[in-house]
């Protein structure tokens, strides 16, 4: 008969490699094997290193141990969170640097914080639609709108609950609507974002309650686009990023400097008025 069959159950379990704690003759718990301690420490270290590797990779240790190496996405410093919007309506573009967007609450970082009265109003409004009770549906719609939400169609035409945000494009300042090139700036922004879903990296909020962020439209930086089109200034009072600036960097023109050099858009004028100076004149009544 083989040795394993004649050994006690405790001895057989230990020989099979299980992690049962060994005991001494006196029945007291023996200290863990140094080899086991080192192995566990190595596994923990490899797991932490794996967070920076490519997605869906596995590190296998022998025949039985595999660690999933799930990466942590690396975001630029200062980003608080990201918003992924529903398709943007042309009417939601206020001017060349401000957009009103709606975010599907199902994909929202605050999806669990929708007020109960809004949740109830959405359910009751759906019932009113089915019953063709327009008066009831409109009253419930007002409750939803007053709370900062709205039911809007998604890409499939389904009505979903969305929250409204006003977004100020970070780092640029476009001409005001009544300024030269103000109309052109708004129209260009409409052409770029109309009907598109945007990815917005939120950094802060301004004194008007708008969220300040970098806007990506199908892989295109909206700020970069507006600066290169000569329809915005680098807003240096609030943003010092060199790629937005009018200066040369490593011998290359930056986004604003490209438009200046080619006299694109508002840079066709020798000395275009800056929007922050225009606003200051309006505030003190010198216009």
- The set of catalytic residues is 168, 176, 210
pLDDT in tens, the chain (287 residues): 444 444 555 554 444 444 444 444 455 555 556 555 555 555 554 444 444 444 443 434 333 333 333 333 456 678 999 999 999 999 999 999 999 999 988 877 777 788 999 999 999 998 998 899 999 999 999 999 999 898 887 777 777 899 999 999 999 999 999 999 999 999 999 999 999 999 999 999 999 999 999 999 999 999 999 999 999 998 888 776 766 655 444 444 478 888 988 999 999 998 999 999 999 998 887 66
Look at residue 151 in the predicted model and tell me its pLDDT.
Answer: 86
Pair 191, 162: CB distance under 8 Å? no
Which pair of tokens denotes residue 10?
Answer: 């405790």
Torsion-angle region of residue 255: left (phi > 0), alpha (psi -120 to 50) or beta? alpha
pLDDT value at residue 18 = 43
- Predicted confidence at residue 278, as pLDDT, reads 95
């Amino acid at each position: 008969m083989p040795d394993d069959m004649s050994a006690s159950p405790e001895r057989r379990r230990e020989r099979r490699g299980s992690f049962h704690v060994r005991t001494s003759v006196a029945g007291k718990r023996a200290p863990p094997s140094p080899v086991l301690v080192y192995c566990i420490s190595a596994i923990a270290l490899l797991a932490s290193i794996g967070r920076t590797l490519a997605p869906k990779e596995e590190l296998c240790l022998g025949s039985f141990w595999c660690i999933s190496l799930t990466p942590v996405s690396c975001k630029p410093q200062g980003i608080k969170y990201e918003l992924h919007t529903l398709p943007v309506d042309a009417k939601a573009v206020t001017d060349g640097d401000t957009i009103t967007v709606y975010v599907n609450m199902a994909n929202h970082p605050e999806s669990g914080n929708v007020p109960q009265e809004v949740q109830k109003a959405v359910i009751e409004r759906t019932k009113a639609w089915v019953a063709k009770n327009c008066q009831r549906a409109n009253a419930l719609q007002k409750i939803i709108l007053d709370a900062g939400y709205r039911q809007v169609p998604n890409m499939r035409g389904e009505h979903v609950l969305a929250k409204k945000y006003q977004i100020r494009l970070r780092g640029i300042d476009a001409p005001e609507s009544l300024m030269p090139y103000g109309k052109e700036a708004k129209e260009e922004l409409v052409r770029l974002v109309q009907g598109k879903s945007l990815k917005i990296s939120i950094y802060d909020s301004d004194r008007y309650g708008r969220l300040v962020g970098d806007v990506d439209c199908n892989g295109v930086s909206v700020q970069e686009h507006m600066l290169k089109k000569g329809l915005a200034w680098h807003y240096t009072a609030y943003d010092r990023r060199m790629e937005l600036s009018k200066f040369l960097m490593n011998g290359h023109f930056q986004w604003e400097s490209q438009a200046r050099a080619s006299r694109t858009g508002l840079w066709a004028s020798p000395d275009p008025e800056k929007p922050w100076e225009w606003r200051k004149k309006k505030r003190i009544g010198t216009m």
